[in-house]
Amino acid sequence: MRDFALVRPASLADAAAAFSGGGEAAYLAGGHTLIPAMKSRLRMPDALVDLSGLGLSGITRDGNRLWIGAMTRHADVATGATAIPGLAALASGIGDAQVRNRGTLGGSVANNDPAADYPAACLALDALIETDRGSHTADDFFQGMFTTALADGEIITRIGFSIPARSAYAKFRHPASRYAVVGVYVADHGGQWRVAVTGAGPGVFRWAEAEAAIAAGGALPAMPADDLNSDIHAGPDYRAHLCGVMLKQALACLA
Amino acid sequence: MQIKLSINGQAHDVDVPAASLLVEVLRDTLALTGTHIGCDTSQCGACNVLVDGVAVKSCTMLAAQAEGAAITTIEGLGSPEALHPMQQAFREAHGLQCGFCTPGMVMAGLEIVRKHGTRLTPELVTHELEGNLCRCTGYLNIVKAIVAGAAGMEAANA
């Protein structure tokens, strides 16, 4: 990997200043996407701004929201997000044990990989994504493959998930990477349902027809294959089929 | 850049590029070659080390990120004369064939004990071991070794 200047700020303001200090900069959270990308020279930042010294870890409940710091590791969400069992279970299925000991919630959400797990939880749990500059609703935040509402240099500080009556996540994992070939997060917010799909399309999205069908107690819809991803792992028809299967699996294990 | 590392209880002061991975500093700078590089893509776990007691893939962590933490490598577990119970169990259960994945497997075994205690089942170990690959496919004996190693750790502490 190409060398860079490592900056370890002690405050959000210092981090933002270091980011805009000239040249290409990148924020370092858990590093489990960024460092592999730098090793393969897909990313070659001049400066790496380490966010680990800003105190952005931890899980707190405030009313009907569960707030999780952006630097909280997947392993800590898996054991600590007990107020939302579906979210804890999602975190326990990311990558493998060693990856979960390093990877972070904020890093995953900021990256918005179209096959990542957390974006589905954010959408289905009507999350608020707080940053050093303000706040975004999940519905506005995810804008397609690797694209978010974050401005250049904006730092996620914490994410507040609405605590649902019941929720669950089901994913068909790629056997090597453990990313979602298709993942579906279903949440029951007291009769208001939110269903979010990751892995299937060019970015995470809500499945409005499924939400309406569940709320009405009607037959579950089929996912149209039109705009779904096609790669060496699965074609659009198979992904569309998996959306229905994962939806049923998630509905069968609501907690 | 100057980085202060604490490895196996010993302080090290190294001067390496900021881009140095922890595994590179361990192997190339400090000659602690027990930690292996298998895939170099965060998949195989041959590079597992403990950072503050928690297993991480040292090929996916900058050395600078380990500053201030206590790092344990395979060299810090036991000695040839007095193997750690987990190492001893790998020896007795034939938990290695070519041996390349073994240091990472031993560290993964310690991680499983950290999370689940010393009374393990083969099913649990199989599930928890998904971040480690053995290209000899010797998983059956690796799982047996970790179950036995955990029990050995309990006996050693009794």
Q: Using one digit for the tens of pLDDT, what is the confidence trace for B8-53? A: 999 999 999 999 999 999 999 999 999 999 999 999 999 999 999 9
Examine the domain organization and report whether B16 and B72 are in the same domain.
yes
Establish whether domains A59-162 and A166-252 are of one fold: no
Question: CA separation (Å) from A23 to A18, A27, A33, A53, B144?
Answer: 10, 13, 21, 22, 52
Mean pLDDT of the A61-69 span: 98
Q: Chain centroid to CA A9: how far?
A: 25
Q: What is the pLDDT of residue A27?
A: 98
Identify the domain boundary among B76, B103, B135: B76
Identify the domain boundary among B36, B57, B76: B76
Q: Determine, for residues B60 and A48 on separate chains, whether the beta-carbon distance falls below 8 Å.
A: no
d(CA A48, CA A4): 7
Q: Determine, for residues B131 and A32 on separate chains, whether the beta-carbon distance falls below 8 Å.
A: no
Examine the domain organization and report whether B13 and B65 are in the same domain.
yes
Examine the domain organization and report whether B33 and B89 are in the same domain.
no
Residue A235 burial by Cβ neighbours in a 10 Å radius (0-12, 13-18, 19+):
middle
Two tokens at B35? 């930690």
Q: Determine, for residues A39 and B54 on separate chains, whether the beta-carbon distance falls below 8 Å.
A: no
Per CB-CB distance under 8 Å, the chain B contacts of A28 are 62, 65
Indicate if the pLDDT at residue A230 is higher than 80: yes
Mean pLDDT of the B111-117 span: 98
Task: Point out the residue among A1, A4, A101 whose CB comes nearest to the CB of B54.
Answer: A101
Indicate if the pLDDT at residue B158 is higher than 80: no
CA end-to-end span of chain A: 44
Instruction: Give, to the nearest 10 degrees, the angle between helix B85-92 and helix B139-157.
Output: 140
Q: Determine, for residues B55 and A101 on separate chains, whether the beta-carbon distance falls below 8 Å.
A: yes
Strand order in the sheet with A156-162: A59-62, A65-69, A156-162, A128-131, A135-137
Taking CA atoms, what residue in B is nearest to A47? B18
Examine the domain organization and report whether B98 and B152 are in the same domain.
yes
Indicate if the pLDDT at residue B141 is higher than 90: yes
Fold (CATH) for A59-162: 3.30.465
* Chain A residues with at least one Cβ partner in B under 8 Å: 1-6, 28, 31-32, 35-36, 38-39, 48, 50, 52, 95-99, 101-102, 176, 178
Per CB-CB distance under 8 Å, the chain A contacts of B43 are 176
CATH number of domain containing B21 = 3.10.20.30
Domain assignments of chain A as residue spans, ordered by start: 5-48, 59-162, 166-252
Task: Point out the residue among A2, A35, A48 whose CB comes nearest to the CB of B60.
Answer: A35
Q: What is the pLDDT of residue A137?
A: 98
Two tokens at B66? 């380990």
Per CB-CB distance under 8 Å, the chain A contacts of B130 are 96-97, 178
CA end-to-end span of chain B: 45
Mean pLDDT of the B131-137 span: 96
Domain count for chain B: 2
Q: What is the mean pLDDT of chain B?
A: 97
Q: What is the pLDDT of residue A188?
A: 98
Examine the domain organization and report whether B97 and B147 are in the same domain.
yes
Class of domain A166-252: alpha beta
Which amino acid, one-letter code, is at A60? Answer: T
Q: Determine, for residues B18 and A6 on separate chains, whether the beta-carbon distance falls below 8 Å.
A: yes
Identify the domain boundary among B17, B46, B76: B76
Two tokens at B28? 């190339």
Taking CA atoms, what residue in A is nearest to B54? A101
CATH number of domain containing B122 = 1.10.150.120
Examine the domain organization and report whether B71 and B7 are in the same domain.
yes
Q: What percent of chain B has pLDDT over 90?
A: 99
Q: Chain centroid to CA A244: how far?
A: 21
Examine the domain organization and report whether B103 and B121 are in the same domain.
yes
Q: What is the pLDDT of residue A175?
A: 87
Nearest Cα residue to A111 out of A190, A27, A201: A27
Examine the domain organization and report whether B143 and B89 are in the same domain.
yes
* Chain B residues with at least one Cβ partner in A under 8 Å: 1, 17-19, 21, 40-43, 45, 48, 54-57, 60-62, 64-65, 108, 111-112, 115, 128, 130-132
Band of pLDDT at residue A129, cut at 50, 70 and 90: very high
Examine the domain organization and report whether B72 and B95 are in the same domain.
no
Per CB-CB distance under 8 Å, the chain A contacts of B61 are 31, 35, 102
Choice between A22 and B135, residue whose per-residue pLDDT is larger = B135
Q: Using one digit for the tens of pLDDT, what is the confidence trace for B43-63? A: 999 999 999 999 999 999 999
Q: Using one digit for the tens of pLDDT, what is the confidence trace for A211-228? A: 999 999 999 999 999 999
Band of pLDDT at residue A177, cut at 50, 70 and 90: confident
Range of the domain at B141: 85-157
Examine the domain organization and report whether B63 and B110 are in the same domain.
no
Examine the domain organization and report whether B55 and B99 are in the same domain.
no
Mean pLDDT of the A38-67 span: 97
Decide the pairing of beta strands B10-15 and B48-51. unpaired
Total-model pTM: 0.96
Mean pLDDT of the A11-15 span: 98
Mean pLDDT of the B69-85 span: 97
